[in-house]
A and B are shown apart, each in its own frame.
Chain A
Amino acid sequence: MHGSLKCNDARAAAAEASGAREGGWQPGYLQRLRIAPPWALLLLTFLTGCPLAENYTDEAGPRYSDDHRHPGTISSEAPASITVVTFNLSFAEQVTEAITALSRPPLAGADVIAMQEMDAASVDRIASELGLAYVYYPASVQVDDDDFGNALLSRWPIVADRKVHLPHDDPYHQRRRIAVLATLDIGGTLVQTASVHNATPIVGLGGRLDQAETIIDAMEGTGPVQVIAGDFNTSDPGSLRQMVRLFSERDFQWASEGVGDTVDSVIGGLPLDFVFAQGLAPLERGVDRRPAGSDHHPVWVRFAWPP
């Protein structure tokens, strides 16, 4: 250790002498410089190390849609009830498991499925296997280079759709969140639907409430029957209460009220996924907690029909 210090001292003295010869630095400067770079590099890495997200900032796209409905899934008659499911498929990595879950009761035959964290290929595969129409908009590109966005899948014709940019990009990567809105024609009645994926609690509760309100505003006046479903990321204390109150103040009913936790996490169960509705009466609701290929569990609500 002693020898090492001597060696370092000698090196510093030589360097300082060299600097002095070149008419450059004052004695002691090099010593500070020798200490500074690791700290400076660490600070620089910390401050600039977060890669900026690649967002799809276009107002209208990219957009993916198709209609995989077939005679077996198309109904010409108005149903006795409609079932809405919301399911965050966790980066769309376990599509086969998701299809299995969506093909068994109580999710089988769902009229509307709002999905989050999806990519186009996975949405198309699920819609194809289940015989559904769909619309999908990616919000951004994830770190694995897959798209990351929301989809609405429907047993009924999708007659209009659009993407809604949500305010408050995350402060570390500026990642954008969106909602996907679609108008469904259910037996001649137009139903406005939204698939939502709010920011995580890294974005404060005020920001997430602004995001929810942006979606409500976007749907306002579009029709008397509305369903807003998705992952609202209400894991922090008080956020669920304030989120539900916001929807209640805007005349939405918490249709999935009482289903309990919808995510298994390292800190326990969390209630993150909800269905809110206007102009519809919920009959039954629940969470399918069997394995479905995600840390989120699909949430379902069966509504009386006609509204």
Chain B
Amino acid sequence: MMRGFGIRALWVGGTLVLAPGCLSGARNIGAATTPVGTTEVGVSLNALAFERGRDQAYLPSPELTFRKGAGENWDWGGRLTLLGLELGTRHRLIEQSRWTWSVAPSAGIWYVPVTNNYTEPVNLRLGAQTLLDYRLSRAWTLTGGASLTGAFAGPLTAFQGRFNGSNLLLSPGGSLGIGFRLSPSFEVRAEGGLEFPLDLRGGSRPPSGHAGLTFRWSRADRR
């Protein structure tokens, strides 16, 4: 019994550390851009639901996030997993007293040692998310998001011109989050979302989902 538990723990631990980043549609951001001269760093603890074999599987996925103000209406940033990185910008399009609307294009690359149903060792994601903030109060902000992501997943041999086993996916998705500002420089954000992967050669796949908490700190850059 203990041996079985040990094997399971080893597998789950290894998968947790190495695998799930590329499966995560979690961005854990709101529509409000980071002010110029400010850097935000965050820690996200997400739970992922995804197709494994012919069942759903669930795994935790820790991520580090950062954003840096770049202009009056835009910032840039990304999220980092152990073997993956996604970078993107966020552009504020409309801001009113209670509403902010932004778009956030992003591109990411992940290495995953083992394949899953439609992930391979080399995973590229290119997509955009539109975000709408509704400020409930000075502390609380509700965020709705819609995204469209294209993904390529290919074997490592793709670098040698062998693409056998590659997957091309298009994933529309949506998310709902709520942020609570504990202090001017510290925010806690909860977010949940779904993606509906469409294998461009094999039809639709079961949805994947995420839910998690992000703790985000901001500070003014040194001059």
Binding site for B on A (CB under 8 A): 47-48, 50, 52, 168-174, 201-209, 235-239, 242, 246, 267-270
Contacts and interface: CB of A to CB of B under 8 A. Distances in A.
A171 B116 contact: no
Interface in B131-148: none
- Which 8 A-B pairs give the minimum distances between C-beta atoms? A171-B155, A205-B53, A206-B117, A47-B159, A204-B115, A204-B116, A268-B3, A242-B53
B176 to A, nearest CB: 29
Contact of B157 (A50, A209, A238, A242): A50
A202 B165 contact: no
Instruction: State the main secondary structure of chain B at its contact with A.
Output: mixed
Contacts, number: 87
Contacts of A50: 156-157, 160
B114 A202 contact: yes
B53 A174 contact: no
Nearest to A236: B11
Nearest to B53: A205
Interface of B: 3-4, 6-8, 10-12, 51-55, 57, 113-117, 119-121, 154-157, 159-160, 162, 164-165
Given A171-B120, A171-B156, A268 B54 contact: no
A171 B52 CA distance: 17
A273 B23 CA distance: 31
A205 B117 CA distance: 7
Contacts of A267: 6-7, 10
Nearest to A201: B114
Nearest to B155: A171
Given A169-B164, A204-B117, A268-B7, A238 B57 contact: yes
Given A204-B115, A206-B51, 5 more contacts: A50-B156, A52-B162, A168-B115, A171-B157, A246-B54
B160 A48 contact: yes
Contacts of B157: 50, 52, 171-174
B30 to A, nearest CB: 34
A239 B155 contact: no
Contacts of A52: 157, 160, 162
B153 to A, nearest CB: 9
Nearest to A205: B53
A51 B107 CA distance: 29
Contacts of A201: 114
A74 B166 CA distance: 49
B160 A203 contact: no
13 contacts: A50-B157, A50-B160, A174-B165, A202-B114, A204-B115, A205-B52, A208-B53, A237-B7, A237-B8, A238-B55, A242-B54, A268-B3, A268-B6
